[in-house]
Amino acid sequence: MKNAPLPEGSRLIDGCFDKEGQASLVAAIRAVVAKAPLYRPEMPRTGKPFSVRMTNCGPLGWVSDRAGYRYQPLHPVTGEPWPPIPPMLLALWNEVSDYPHPPEACLVNFYDEAARMGLHRDEDEAALDAPVVSVSLGDSCLFRLGGRERGDPTRSFRLASGDVFVLGGPSRLMFHGVDRIYPGSSTLLERGGRINLTLRRVTPPG
Ligand code: MD3
Ligand code: FE
């Protein structure tokens, strides 16, 4: 059971979505991307482009540009509001988050075979009492989970299509990243690659 060695507050649900559920999610995300196209964010200050392409759905979306990281209600390229979070993802949040308010942002990350994500913490959300709920679709990745400090030891494991990862409590502020994609490890996406969805509560309720 690969759930056993995970830190307190984190829970990996292997195969949470079966093939049919994964296909439904991909269809829902394609509809989101049709309205809010994937774009390539840039690093704060340097403007270095991300290797991951991104979009969002929900009232708020996470963006990065030379000015910094932030949540905002409009797509930075189209200037339009982000489309709503698909009902399937709201249902997932209700099942696994143990949080009594809905998520406000769903960040959609698309990785081609060369994309990766450096070690970082998700700390742009004021509602740090809410977990982050992640869904992996398509090719598997090598995921790295560290500790609360950048230099803490890390452990690596594969996230596969249909896996759901819930990061709450003491795990919420742990460093994490994606070291590599395994091209050809899934047939879910016709042209390959990996999609990661992260559901987030941004603002404290009330
Ligand atoms: C561990 N995404 O979008 S999701 C991100 O696979 C991000 O695209 C990765 O990190 C991806 O910010 C990882 C799993 C995840 C999400 C949030 C976490 C792991 C986490 C927050 C704390 C600790
Ligand atoms: Fe993250």
Pocket of ligand 1 (CB under 6 A): 107, 109, 117, 122, 132, 134, 145, 165, 167, 171-172, 174, 176, 178, 196, 198
CA 181 – CA 203 distance, rounded (Å): 32
Beta-bridge partner residues of 114: none
The one-digit pLDDT tens for each residue of the chain (206 residues) are 444 478 999 999 999 999 999 999 999 999 999 999 999 999 999 999 999 999 999 999 999 999 999 999 999 999 999 999 999 999 999 999 999 999 999 999 999 999 999 999 999 999 999 999 999 999 999 999 999 999 999 999 999 999 999 999 999 999 999 999 999 999 999 999 999 999 999 999 98
CA 139 – CA 180 distance, rounded (Å): 10
Residue 38 lies in a domain: no
0.95 exceeded by pTM: yes
Residue 92 lies in a domain: yes
| Mutational test site, ligand 1, from 122, 149, 174, max ligand atoms within 8 Å of CB | 122
CA 206 – CA 200 distance, rounded (Å): 16
Alpha helices in 6-163 (DSSP H): 19-35, 87-96
Task: Report how far ligand 2's centroid is from the alpha carbon of 67 (Å).
Answer: 19
Angle 10-13-18 (CA atoms, 0-180°, nearest 5)?
A: 155
CA 101 – CA 79 distance, rounded (Å): 27
Look up the domain containing 176 and give its range: 10-31+87-200
For 35, the token pair is 């309205």
Task: Report how far ligand 2's centroid is from the alpha carbon of 189 (Å).
Answer: 22
| Mutational test site, ligand 1, from 12, 109, 154, 155, max ligand atoms within 8 Å of CB | 109
Angle 35-41-45 (CA atoms, 0-180°, nearest 5)?
A: 150
Residue 46 lies in a domain: no
* pLDDT at position 206: 82
Task: Report how far ligand 1's centroid is from the alpha carbon of 106 (Å).
Answer: 12
Residue 40 lies in a domain: no
Task: Report how far ligand 1's centroid is from the alpha carbon of 80 (Å).
Answer: 26
Residue 138 lies in a domain: yes
Residue 26 lies in a domain: yes
User: What CATH number is associated with residue 137?
Assistant: 2.60.120.590
How many domains does the structure of the chain reveal? 1
Task: Report how far ligand 1's centroid is from the alpha carbon of 176 (Å).
Answer: 6
- If you count them, how many residues does the chain have? 206
Residue 123 lies in a domain: yes
Residue nearest (by alpha carbon) to ligand 1 atom 23: 174
Residue 53 lies in a domain: no
Is residue 60 helix, strand or coil? coil
For 202, the token pair is 């941004």
Whether 44 and 69 have beta carbons less than 8 Å apart is answered as yes
Max Cα distance, the chain (Å): 45
Task: Report how far ligand 2's centroid is from the alpha carbon of 128 (Å).
Answer: 13
| Mutational test site, ligand 1, from 171, 198, 201, max ligand atoms within 8 Å of CB | 198
Ion ligand 2: residues, Cβ under 5 Å: 122
